[in-house]
Amino acid sequence: MRRPLIAGNWKMNGTKSSAEALLSGVVSGAASVAKAEIAVCVPFPLLYLGERLLADSGIQLGAQNVCTEPGGAYTGEVSAAMLVDFGCRYVICGHSERREYYGETDEIIAKKVSVSIAAGMKPILCVGETLQQREDGLTEQVIGAQINGVMSRIGIDAFDRLEIAYEPVWAIGTGKTASPEQAQDVHVFIRNKVADESAAIAEKIRILYGGSMKAANARELLSQADIDGGLIGGASLVADDFLVICQAG
Ligand code: 3PY
């Protein structure tokens, strides 16, 4: 049985005071969440606050990016060891916003996944197709290539130590959501792809759905057999909404 994971992706949002209010709200409501594991992936400057406010809450802290290199002269970068030092359990790798705006290739993403695992964190590896690709019937081809692009570099065994998030690019920040059936179909495709290499890992691996999951649609999405949680954008910025999604998990 896979325990659902609901992870907030705050993206580039939050000040010290808004983050303090949001984290405190999530911590105080977390007791009402029976089953799901909860994580919040905050911007780097808020990790320090997150570590302090989430201590002993059972809620995991995560980051949204990591450097491919272990340390040294990489101005502006943050290493996996630094994230671990700040209490991070999770790190988002390969979000479509990073693929699109920062030119992250499968090679870079594979390195980020690899250094994160080596440092003891669990990467959340994001994959997803654009609207054009879906309309051209290329969804499986694109997602298959994104998974291969990482698996061929770091090996199937690493998939035992990561989570996958299916995030259709057309559903990110648009308010559009994949229907539960559309999402389930892609999740099955991803699980089968992992099963081609290892049936045991495929059975265990959590595949989250991301892309405008919100309080109103979470229950239906999360009731699908192969949707093992959510990576939550905008709705993770409102404690009550995020908690409703966590309760649906
Ligand atoms: C969204 O829901 O918009 C996301 O990108 C989650 O990562």
Residues with catalytic function = 95, 167
Mean pLDDT by 10 residues, the chain (249 residues): 97 98 98 96 98 97 98 97 98 98 98 98 98 95 98 98 97 86 98 98 98 94 98 97 97
CA dihedral of residues 5, 6, 7, 8 (deg, nearest 10): 180
What domains are defined for the chain? 8-248 (3.20.20.70)
Alpha-carbon span 7 to 2, nearest angstrom = 15
| Cβ-based burial of 215 (10 A; exposed 0-12, middle 13-18, buried ≥19) | middle
What would the two tokens of residue 108 be? 């870079």
For residue 85 the two structure tokens come to 């030092």
Ligand 1 atom with minimal separation from the 211 CA: 2
Between the CA of 238 and the centroid of ligand 1 the distance, in Å, is 14
Strand partners, 40: 8, 61
Distance between Cα 73 and ligand 1 center (Å) = 31
Tell me which residue of 50, 31, 28, 32 sits closest to 41, measured CA to CA: 50
| Residue 231 beta carbon below 6 angstroms from any ligand 1 atom | yes
pLDDT at site 248: 96
**ipTM score:** 0.97
Region of residue 232 (phi > 0: left; psi between -120 and 50: alpha; otherwise: beta): beta
161 in Cβ contact with 117 (< 8 Å)? yes
Enter the tokens of residue 99. 């693929």
CA distance 91 to 231: 12
The pLDDT score that the predictor gives to residue 154 is 98
Q: Is 212 in the pocket of ligand 1 (CB under 6 A)?
A: yes
Of ligand 1's atoms, which has the minimum distance to the CA of residue 165?
A: 7
Ligand 1 pocket residue status of 60, Cβ below 6 Å = no
pLDDT at 228: 98
Closest-CA residue to 188 (of 231, 246, 180, 211) = 180
233 lines ligand 1 (CB under 6 A): yes
Q: Are 38 and 246 in contact (CB under 8 A)?
A: yes
